[in-house]
Amino acid sequence: MQESQLEIDPVPAHVAIIMDGNGRWAQQRKRPRLFGHKAGVDSVRAVVETAREIGVKHLTLYAFSTENWHRPGFEVKGLMSLLKTYLQVELDNMKTNEIRLDCFGQKHRLPEDVHQVLDQVMAETIDCMGMRLNLALSYGSRTEIIAGVQEIARKCSAGVLDVRDIDEQLLSDNLYSADQPDPDLLIRTGGEHRLSNFLLWQLSYAEIYFTDTMWPDFRKSQFLEAIKAFGNRQRRFGRTGGQLESK
Ligand code: IPE
Ligand code: IPE
Ligand code: MG
């Protein structure tokens, strides 16, 4: 069936994904963990393409957490190398499909060559208006919030900001996601039911979809299933179901 014929209503404007389960997927197949990460890259391709196709406007993928630096050096190296290749290979594709790349996280902690490719892809796609693709790399939500609070405190002590001006919008404006809306839908693959320090501020009213499917098995149809499940949720934002129905 063509995607255009699929009943997807509404399409979430912003989808965030914790891409988990690569290592276990590989271990189940008696292969090294990096084999799972490689297969996971194909899931990234499939999900980015599908998101663009159905009209998602912002897609945020948790690719590497600040905590992931504690993994064995060999695995970290392998992940960085996969990331670099992904960015190099996908640049043309992103431009063709009008996808703008951004990085949420501590770019300066990434290896120099990865940092460079990332900057290049971000610069070359800056005018793309079809979809924003945010890769969370060396990302940790608490660190992000603290940096935002520090920036606000600096402005207050310099006298350019008054304490009474601090509100939710101002903190949002001082996070990596500053000019983008909060996620409507969070997907976590791999069977774990936790947030793992991901977008703690931004996810405050997101719908959450957990699936046992390991990330390398999460492709187009699994993604569409999650989007359809989102369509069946009633987002009440504190109101009653009755209030929403009488609207
Ligand atoms: C997610 O898969 C990818 C990263 C965290 C980089 P994992 O590597 O965490 O896979 P599991 O959870 O060990 O199966
Ligand atoms: C979360 O996965 C980070 C990414 C998907 C990049 P982890 O597998 O690292 O999460 P925990 O540590 O098991 O919660
Ligand atoms: Mg994991």
- Which residues are tagged catalytic? 20, 68
For ligand 2, say whether the CB of 215 is within 6 Å of any of its atoms: no
Query: How far is ligand 2, taken at its centre, from the CA of residue 196, in Å?
Result: 6
pLDDT of residue 6: 60
> Three-class SS of residue 75?
helix
- CA-nearest of 65, 50, 57, 82 to 19 is 65
What string of H, E and C letters represents the secondary structure of 165-186?
HCCHHHHHHCCCCCCCCCCCEE
- Rg (Cα) of the chain, in Å, rounded? 19
Measured from CB, residues less than 6 Å from any atom of ligand 1 are 19-24, 64, 68, 79, 190, 215
pLDDT of residue 9: 86
Cis before 10 (ω within 30) = yes
Q: Using alpha carbons only, give the angle 143, 191, 57 rounded to the nearest 5 degrees.
A: 60
Query: How far is ligand 2, taken at its centre, from the CA of residue 65, in Å?
Result: 7
pLDDT of residue 176: 98
What are the mean pLDDT values of the chain's consecutive 10-residue runs (247 residues total)? 62 98 98 98 98 98 98 98 98 98 98 98 98 98 98 98 97 98 98 98 98 98 97 91 87
> Three-class SS of residue 219?
coil
- Chain-centroid distance of CA 205 in Å reads 16
Surrounding residues of ion ligand 3, Cβ less than 5 A: 20
pLDDT of residue 241: 92
- CA-nearest of 230, 221, 134 to 177 is 134
Domains with residue ranges and CATH for the chain? 9-140+183-233 (3.40.1180.10)
Contact call for residues 60 and 16 (beta carbons, < 8 A):
yes
- What residue spans of 202-247 are helical by DSSP H? 220-231, 241-245
- Tokens for 23? 């290592």
Which ligand is closest to the CA of 218, given by its number? Answer: 1
pLDDT of residue 247: 72
pLDDT of residue 179: 96
Which ligand is closest to the CA of 188, given by its number? Answer: 2
The residues pairing with 209 across neighbouring beta strands, listed in sequence order, are 187
For ligand 2, say whether the CB of 65 is within 6 Å of any of its atoms: yes
State the closest ligand 2 atom to the C-alpha of 20, by its place in the atom list counted from 1: 5
Angle separating helix axes 220-231 and 33-54, nearest 10 degrees: 50
Q: Which helix (H) or strand (E) holds 14?
A: strand 14-18
Query: How far is ligand 3, taken at its centre, from the CA of residue 159, in Å?
Result: 44
Which ligand is closest to the CA of 187, given by its number? Answer: 2
Contact call for residues 60 and 104 (beta carbons, < 8 A):
yes
